[in-house]
Amino acid sequence: MRAIQLAVACVAVSVASVGQVQAGLILFGIQDDGNVAESLAYGPTAITESDDAFLSTLVGSQSHNRWFQRAVDGSNNTLYEIDWQFSTMKTVANRFQDAINIGEAVTWTVTSPSITGSQILVGTWRFSDNAGDVLSRFSGSGFSFSDDDGIWGAGTGEIDGDSNTNIINWTWGYGNYHGADVFNNPLANGTLRINGVTQSSLPSGFKNFMFVDDGMVSAVPEPSSLAVFGIGAGVMAIAARRRRRREGECVAA
């Protein structure tokens, strides 16, 4: 009986951390110094993290309710990671246009080497209310994704790249804050915000990555199902071993 109890405990421990595994984050945007929003080229081309700044319009019809954002320096050291959780399912193209027109409600979860644990922020993302007809850009290509400004990031309240009054709401991320895309004036133009602080310089090789969650998960069973299966298999193995032992004793007798 003791052996069975130990087997059950070991199986339970071995599956406790197993669950559904996130399968797909699709990279759709890269921003760097000089290519934030107004000077951000776009078109129907897939991108990887080694590519130059670009916005891939291939994801325009991707339905989702989650984005993921990560910024790195030239040595690929992470500056921050931001999980974007939206309140509704939409395509990427419609998400941008609604953000510009009315704002998108978002719950952001931020992690960074500069803080302990994580921060959860709730606000309304506008990108830039003067970005123009972004919806049409998802069916074309060009060299200026936004007509005017644009913020990729998190905060509380309204986050709008075209506003010159709500920078205090913007806590994390990278954007053209009511200026130009080039990082040459921390209070406008290309701006990096880390934990509410406007950075005075941009790390060498800086890139900001934007991903959309495709909603696909791998077919890994739930932990409870694995535990039940594993416990059953363990008990059956012990019982079979005992049965073979008894049969051996009978033959010897």
Please indicate, yes or no, if residue 7 is contained in any of the structural domains: no
Please indicate, yes or no, if residue 8 is contained in any of the structural domains: no
3-state secondary structure string across the chain: CHHHHHHHHHHHHHHCCCCCCECCEEEEEEEECCECCCCCCEECCCCCCCCCCEEEHHHCCCEEEEEEEEEECCCCCEEEEEEEEEEEEEEHHHHHHHHHHCCEEEEEEEECCCCCCEEEEEEEEEECCCCCCHHHHCCCCECCCCCCCEEEEEECEEEECCCCCCHHHEEEEEEECCCCCCCCCCCCCEEEEECCEECCCCCCCCEEEEEEECCCECCCCCHHHHHHHHHHHHHHHHHHHHHHHHHHHHHHC
Between 41 and 238, the more confident residue is: 41
pLDDT at 226: 41
The tokens for 107 are: 């719950």
* In a shared domain, residues 72 and 179: yes
Per-residue pLDDT for 232 more than 80?
no
* In a shared domain, residues 206 and 227: no
pLDDT at 23: 60
Per-residue pLDDT for 219 more than 80?
no
pLDDT at 19: 31
Please indicate, yes or no, if residue 253 is contained in any of the structural domains: yes
* In a shared domain, residues 74 and 158: yes
pLDDT at 10: 39
Please indicate, yes or no, if residue 209 is contained in any of the structural domains: yes
128-161 pLDDT, tens digit per residue, is 999 999 999 999 999 999 999 999 999 999 999 8
Residues in Cβ contact with 64 at an 8 Å cutoff, skipping those fewer than 6 apart: 86, 89, 90, 91, 92, 95, 212, 213, 214, 215
Are the C-beta atoms of residues 80 and 210 closer than 8 Å to each other? Answer: no
* In a shared domain, residues 204 and 236: no
* In a shared domain, residues 61 and 172: yes
Q: Which domain holds residue 241?
A: 221-253
Per-residue pLDDT for 16 more than 80?
no
Cβ atoms within 10 Å, residue 90 = 18
67-115 pLDDT, tens digit per residue, is 999 999 999 999 999 999 999 999 999 999 999 999 999 999 999 999 9
Where does the pLDDT of residue 24 fall: very low under 50, low under 70, confident under 90, or very high at 90 and above?
confident
* In a shared domain, residues 82 and 130: yes
Between 185 and 60, the more confident residue is: 60
The tokens for 205 are: 């090789």
Residues in Cβ contact with 247 at an 8 Å cutoff, skipping those fewer than 6 apart: none
Please indicate, yes or no, if residue 156 is contained in any of the structural domains: yes
Please indicate, yes or no, if residue 149 is contained in any of the structural domains: yes
Summary mean pLDDT of the chain:
82
* In a shared domain, residues 159 and 226: no
Q: What domain count does the chain have?
A: 2
pTM for the full model?
0.77
* In a shared domain, residues 37 and 142: yes
Please indicate, yes or no, if residue 154 is contained in any of the structural domains: yes
* In a shared domain, residues 127 and 189: yes
* In a shared domain, residues 110 and 232: no
* In a shared domain, residues 229 and 208: no
* In a shared domain, residues 114 and 232: no
Handedness of CA 46, 91, 139, 177 (dihedral sign): negative
